[in-house]
Chain A
């Protein structure tokens, strides 16, 4: 894989995605060893620059980097200091001067990692920016699907919930369609982004939209529920949480309409009892915990591939 940064999956080829997934296989093998450490990134410095709190993603990256023997620095900054104080570009220049080789950035503003990439000689990994992208999450989702179902091509996948504000959904839409899956987006109209391509071609992948979850789920191979921020109701996007639960909660009855053995996924953190029923979240079809474990392997793969010797699979 020859790229400086990982900003989104929109510019990945299917071959590159496959390469990441295959490398992750090798990393998962390392994770099964008693001593989960290889020297691949020895002497390199990985900075986790998080402008938004996210314990799970940050720890996942930290473990991935440490397993590869990198030096890891965690920088947590609240979004409010972005506006008031030091600019993002200044921060990046400072981190570069301090010897950062790879910066993993989580930022509340869409596109911020692109700005970082333009001012950093080293590599940038987007760990989630605004509503825009979360490519490492999408890759671990793809990895989890492939691991369980053997393939991604030809699968019928449903993403349900607040697509409008979801960077996980956006990156997954790119990744899943590139790998040949059939995608259905399901959610209330007010939580779906504009998908009408008037005037612009090829700006976004072709997807199916279905507002009725019972219909959307019919015959699906994979169902991914998204977290619903409770404040969406206050913003006027939803009449009530109660109605959302009635129409869009992933329940046992609904999952039963999917293909037998269909996977239930969630990027976390979950609101159990809102977008997903507890018995589904912890049921036999749920791979939600596997997603977390696979996250470390996929991030190890990405760090390894970015560090330059991508041909050598550790």
Chain B
């Protein structure tokens, strides 16, 4: 395997508290050295053409992003996405590790399906795929899956994502039982009774549009329930896609009480509001109302909720940004709002979307990097997300300033469903490396990697 020197980038590694301009040397797929100055003559070797190198000047160099929440749709819905296309989308977005949700067909609820996913990922995937298994068999909410065996086969968390575990009793058992194995239960918190038929946030915009709303309380009552159950069981709880101010408060209090509770938020919940459903857009991008690409679950909320989510990100209440990448076909979205599927194809816009918060001076770059690397690694107890010498060389190099227009037709993902289409974002991955191999390189930057002449 070829060694690579990443030169002159702004290296950020939150776990090691690294934040300087320097070089990163990759040897045999592992991080060999990170330093502000010349690394063991590597620069000279690169100059002499004896070492492949990447010019990262003007770019951020950090651990590859980790996404705790993607839908790869395989097996079962390969028309929406496959492990091959989904992981390419991840690489293009700067992600080197993705945890995939089990709401496939069949669902990932037994060892053989986990093995299938891992096998396909190994053969066709370009980034690391960590399966999440269902909490209950067939995601039916009634019988626990074989947690022990699933953990042994490589599962990193459990979730019935797409819906809540309606039974408090089953959720209690899930938290209690999984606590023996130290893996988190990732909970999609949504009270079914309060959200039946709902397609957007309940509020004045839903009133205007005549759409059935999902109240914030429907998320908050289940977050409160699950926190109470985590306390009861000493379980390890992860709240998926937090979307309301009230939920942030509940998680903040749970953490203050010392409970093993972590949380994630999506880029779209951090940057978009329910106004987008009514057709309001940033800048000149005013579109017609009822754009089904704004239909997500949980729904886009109010500006107050967005502000609270950002506060939660800043004060550590929310540990990670996760995309909830939910690719769908055109047919799933080219229809009436009520009938459209929920979800945004998020992997390839996540970074640009988050960086709007940096460019608007709302949060700093280091925090964004933290919530995409160190934060998620901690939440799911993963060994990645660091540039420590000896660790797998999973690295992303991104230009935080490059302007680009979101054009879904250029996505690696099969899912072109994004409300951001046509919008100009600033910041994009230039190259993504997994175990020292370049798995993504921005096309116009092909001259980027300088291959040795000998």
> Does B associate with A?
yes
Chain A residues in contact with chain B, CB under 8 A? Answer: 10, 82-83, 87-89, 107, 109-112, 114-115, 117-118, 129-133, 167, 170, 193-200, 203-204
- Interface status of B146 (Cβ within 8 A of chain A): no
Complex CA gap A221/B305 in Å reads 41
Complex contact A200–B206 (CB within 8 A): no
Complex contact B210–A200 (CB within 8 A): no
Complex contact A198–B288 (CB within 8 A): no
Write 17 A-B pairs (CB below 8 A) sorted by A numbering.
A110-B209, A111-B209, A111-B211, A114-B288, A115-B290, A118-B288, A130-B210, A170-B208, A193-B206, A193-B207, A194-B204, A194-B206, A194-B207, A199-B301, A200-B274, A203-B205, A203-B207
- Interface status of B232 (Cβ within 8 A of chain A): no
Complex contact A88–B335 (CB within 8 A): yes
Which residue of chain B has the shortest Cβ distance to A119 in the bound complex?
B334
Which residue of chain A has the shortest Cβ distance to B290 in the bound complex?
A111
CB neighbours (8 Å) of B289 from chain A are 111, 114
CB neighbours (8 Å) of B447 from chain A are none
Complex contact A111–B337 (CB within 8 A): yes
Most central of A82, A118, A167, A200 by chain B CB within 10 Å: A200
Chain B residues in contact with chain A, CB under 8 A? Answer: 202-213, 273-275, 278, 288-290, 301-305, 331, 334-339
- Per a CB cutoff under 8 Å, which of B202, B302, B339 touches A109? B339
- Per a CB cutoff under 8 Å, which of B206, B210, B305, B334 touches A87? B334
Which residue of chain A has the shortest Cβ distance to B334 in the bound complex?
A89
Complex CA gap A119/B419 in Å reads 18
CB neighbours (8 Å) of B303 from chain A are 199-200
CB neighbours (8 Å) of A193 from chain B are 206-207
A201 to chain B, nearest CB (A): 9
A70 to chain B, nearest CB (A): 27
- Per a CB cutoff under 8 Å, which of B202, B205, B212, B213 touches A200? B205
Complex CA gap A199/B201 in Å reads 12
A204 to chain B, nearest CB (A): 5
Complex CA gap A200/B211 in Å reads 16
CB neighbours (8 Å) of B301 from chain A are 199
CB neighbours (8 Å) of A132 from chain B are 209-211
- Per a CB cutoff under 8 Å, which of B202, B207, B290, B334 touches A204? B207
CB neighbours (8 Å) of A117 from chain B are 288
CB neighbours (8 Å) of B210 from chain A are 110-111, 129-133, 167, 170
- Per a CB cutoff under 8 Å, which of B204, B278, B339 touches A82? B339
- Per a CB cutoff under 8 Å, which of A130, A199, A200 touches B338? A130
- Per a CB cutoff under 8 Å, which of A82, A167, A199 touches B304? A199
- Per a CB cutoff under 8 Å, which of B273, B275, B336 touches A111? B336
Complex contact A199–B288 (CB within 8 A): no
Complex contact A197–B335 (CB within 8 A): no
Beyond contacts A82-B339, A118-B288: 9 other A-B pairs, Cβ-Cβ < 8 A, are: A10-B208, A110-B209, A110-B211, A110-B290, A111-B209, A131-B210, A131-B212, A198-B204, A203-B208
Complex CA gap A109/B278 in Å reads 15
Complex CA gap A133/B273 in Å reads 23
Q: A87-B334, A110-B209, A130-B210 are in contact. Are A200 and B302 (CB under 8 A)?
A: yes
- Per a CB cutoff under 8 Å, which of A87, A131, A200 touches B203? A200
Complex CA gap A115/B287 in Å reads 12
Q: A10-B208, A114-B288 are in contact. Are A199 and B203 (CB under 8 A)?
A: yes
CB neighbours (8 Å) of B334 from chain A are 87, 89
Which residue of chain A has the shortest Cβ distance to B292 in the bound complex?
A115
Q: A114-B290, A118-B288, A200-B274 are in contact. Are A107 and B336 (CB under 8 A)?
A: yes
Complex contact B335–A199 (CB within 8 A): no
CB neighbours (8 Å) of A87 from chain B are 331, 334-335
B162 to chain A, nearest CB (A): 20
Complex contact A203–B278 (CB within 8 A): yes
Complex contact A203–B204 (CB within 8 A): yes
Chain A to chain B: the 3 pairs with minimum beta-carbon distance, closest first: A132-B210, A199-B302, A111-B290
Most central of A111, A131, A167, A195 by chain B CB within 10 Å: A111
Complex CA gap A131/B157 in Å reads 41
B208 to chain A, nearest CB (A): 5
B248 to chain A, nearest CB (A): 15
A286 to chain B, nearest CB (A): 28
CB neighbours (8 Å) of A194 from chain B are 202-204, 206-207, 213
A124 to chain B, nearest CB (A): 12
Complex CA gap A198/B304 in Å reads 8
Complex CA gap A69/B227 in Å reads 67
CB neighbours (8 Å) of B337 from chain A are 109-111
- Per a CB cutoff under 8 Å, which of A114, A115, A131, A199 touches B273? A199
A79 to chain B, nearest CB (A): 10
- Per a CB cutoff under 8 Å, which of A109, A196, A198, A204 touches B208? A204
CB neighbours (8 Å) of B331 from chain A are 87
